[in-house]
Amino acid sequence: MKGHIIQIKGCILCLSLLLTLLVGCSSEDGPIGPEGPAGEQGLVGDQGPQGSEGEPGELGPERYFASEWINSELKEDFGTATSASFTIDASELSQDIMDTGLVLVFGRREDLLENQIIERLPALIDNDFEFRFQQRLGELTIIVSTVNELIDLDGNGALIEDYRYVIIPNPGNTTEKNGTTVDFTKMTYDEVVAYFNL
C-alpha cells in the first residue's frame, strides 16, 4: 500500500509540474532572434534544355561602295550636238563587279519650281533627253542624248547637276527576313539610302 501511495504522489507531482509549465507559458511570441550563419553553397544543377532557334535576320551584301555627289561636266552649251558625255573615276569598279555586281547611278536636279528630284539612270527627262551610263573597269561614263535627232542638245546636258553611284558586289546574296531576294534595281534613291544607311 505504501508503494501505491508513492506512485500516486509521483503522479500528482508530475501533473503539478506539467500544469505549472502549461500555465507559465505565454501565447505571445518573443522578439526575433539574431540571424544565423549562412548555410553551405548548394550543388550546381543540370543545364537546362536548348532554347528554340530565333528567326533569321536580314542578310546584307558583303560590302558596298557609295560615292559622294559628283558635279556634272555637261554644263556647257552643246549647240546642235545630239549627245555628250563625261567620265567619272570609279576605282571600285573591278571585273568581278562588272561580272556579278550591280552599279546604280543617280542624278540630282531641280524642276521648274526648284524642287529637288533624284533620278535613277537611265532616265528620260522632259520626254526629250535621255541620261544613261556605261561602265568600264575603274570608270563610269555619263551620257546624255536627245531622243529625237531633230532636237538639239543645247544646254540641256546640265539638266542633271550632279551624280552619285552605289556599287553592290553581290546583290544576289542579299535577302529579306522572309527569304526573298532584295531587288535593288526597283528601289528609289531614298530606299537605297535607308537600306545602306548612306
- pLDDT computed for residue 59 by the predictor: 43
**Better-scored residue on pLDDT, 174 or 152:** 152
- pLDDT computed for residue 174 by the predictor: 66
Judge if pTM exceeds 0.85. no
As a whole number of angstroms, the distance between CA 72 and CA 159 comes to: 9
For the segment 86-95, the average pLDDT, to the nearest whole number, is: 94
For the segment 103-112, the average pLDDT, to the nearest whole number, is: 93
**Better-scored residue on pLDDT, 181 or 53:** 181
DSSP-derived secondary structure letter, 15: H
Q: Would 105 be classed as within a structural domain? A: yes
* Vertex 169: Cα angle to 165 and 170 (nearest 5): 130
Q: Would 77 be classed as within a structural domain? A: yes
Domain extent, residue 102, equals 65-196
- pLDDT computed for residue 152 by the predictor: 84
Q: Would 190 be classed as within a structural domain? A: yes
Count of structural domains, the chain: 1
Q: Would 181 be classed as within a structural domain? A: yes
Residue spans of alpha helices (H) in 25-160:
95-100
- pLDDT computed for residue 49 by the predictor: 80
For the segment 92-121, the average pLDDT, to the nearest whole number, is: 93
